[in-house]
Structure 1
Amino acid sequence: MSTGPSLIRILAVDDHPMLLEGIASLVASQSDMELVAEASTGREALEQFREHRPDLTLMDLQMPDMDGVEAMVAICGEFPDARIIVLTTYKGDVKVLRALKAGARAFLLKGLLRKELLETIRAVQAGQKRIPPEVAAELADHAIDDALTTREIDVLRLIAGGNTNKLIADQLSITEETVKGYVKNILSKLGASDRTHAVTIALKRGFIDL
């Protein structure tokens, strides 16, 4: 099929077939867009991008094999002009920041796909950036927070797995006292009242996944 110069060529990346079908249906109804490829993992996304060089990519964040942020880093590393719209169910500020740093031009909450997808595609193709108000508010709320260190995130993951301080110390080859210090820092930085509360906040903000 020949593509006219005005068509926006799109790559859609998501591991849910129903969502890809919905995107395909919306795009097919537009005279200025064409879905040129689909992928269900980050690794496939990179391969499809290399093959098709789309004008615009719709990228899910949470996928098996290679997640959306890793795929974006890989794609933008090879193709700095790539235009990527992140599709997410998720408003956590940490994931959003990672995606922005990786090269995202816009964010689209999956619940608003039918209502806002086509307008967002055209806006990004025209060079604009789009962040939904809910996502922008989440970013603003935590803009001056102290970031967790890599080791603190390691400790949090192990806390989320139900490990005691002793088990965490054993797994990370550090002392129990050091673990206690990390836990104290984590509670302080997240404004959490206890370990369970810290895990809840960390999941909501995107520091860790279960």
Structure 2
Amino acid sequence: MNHPSTDTDTSRPLRILIADDHPLYREGITSVLQQYPEFDVVAAVGSGREAVEEIHRLTPDLAIVDLQLPDIDGVAVVDEIERSDSPTRTVIVSALDDSATIYRALEHGAQAYLTKVASGQVVRDTLVDVAAGQTVIPPVLQTGLVKEIRARQEVSGRVLLTPRELDVLRLAATGLTTSQIAGKLHVSVPTVKTHLRNTYDKLDASDRTAAVAQALRLGLLA
């Protein structure tokens, strides 16, 4: 996602879109934000598709998006924004506070995650921080998120590549062709292809580029 600058234009209010299918919450958060001169609520919608359409049309600075929307969920909205390279930053709000859900939202590109019991002041401070380029997780949610990250790292650590598979992947990461890798390792081209296919399967990757990226993310090529 392209966020070319973390500097906000302090000469104008931050333009906010709200997406929530519960009218009471949608109207309530709109009312809260309207109390702050630094915000301008430019749209309030009740579905994910409406949110995507209005974000494309209005390009707000920030979007507050409910996780559980009736058509596409909040994470799917974030995905749509990411793919369109929109500068709009997203804050997911939800009644859910489990660490796996929070991790998923952040993994897909949300800049903050708030529960629906967050106070108006917390929402205000979060929006200002996100507009300034920060990722915001309330302290009450951070411990669970850290545990989730560690648990996922432990699972990732179980991805075991053989020494030869690692050799092949390291050379692939340098941009060598299959035949060049075979020459370097003094093996046949079909053997290299077999090793690559095995790494794709183990890393759940569709091609060489994805396999290298996943291996780097997991620290396997360090």
Q: Give the TM-score category using the shorter length.
A: 0.5 to 0.7
Is 1:133 paired with 2:163? no
2:124 corresponds to which of 93, 118, 140: 118
Deviations 1:125-178 (A, max 9, x none): 11122101222111122333356xxxxxxxxxxxxxxxxxxxxxxxxxxxxxxx
Deviates more, 1:37-46 or 1:75-84: 75-84
1:53-92 superposed Cα distances (whole Å, 9 cap, x missing partner)? 0000001101111000011101121035321111112111
Structure 1: unaligned runs, 5 residues or longer: 148-210
Distance 1:125 1:139 in 2: 22
Amino acid at match of 2:132: A
**Shift of residue 113, structure 1, vs aligned partner:** 3.4
Q: TM-score, normalised by structure 1?
A: 0.64
Is it true that 1:32 corresponds to 2:46 in the alignment? no
SS at match of 2:37: coil
Write out aligned runs for 1:1-210 (5 A).
Answer: 5-145=11-151
Q: Distance in 2 between matches of 1:63 and 1:78?
A: 20
The answer as to whether partners of 1:76 and 1:82 remain within 8 angstroms in 2 is no
Q: What is the count of residue pairs matched by the alignment?
A: 145
The alignment's C-alpha RMSD in Å is: 1.9
74-83 or 116-125, larger mean C-alpha shift: 74-83
State which structure, 1 or 2, has the greater radius of gyration over its C-alpha atoms.
2
**What letter matches 1:55 in structure 2?**
D
Percent sequence identity over aligned pairs: 33
CA distance in 1 between counterparts of 2:45 and 2:85 reads: 18
The list of structure 1 runs, each at least 4 consecutive aligned residues, that deviate by more than 3 angstroms after superposition, is none
SS at match of 1:11: strand
Shift of 1:49: 0.4
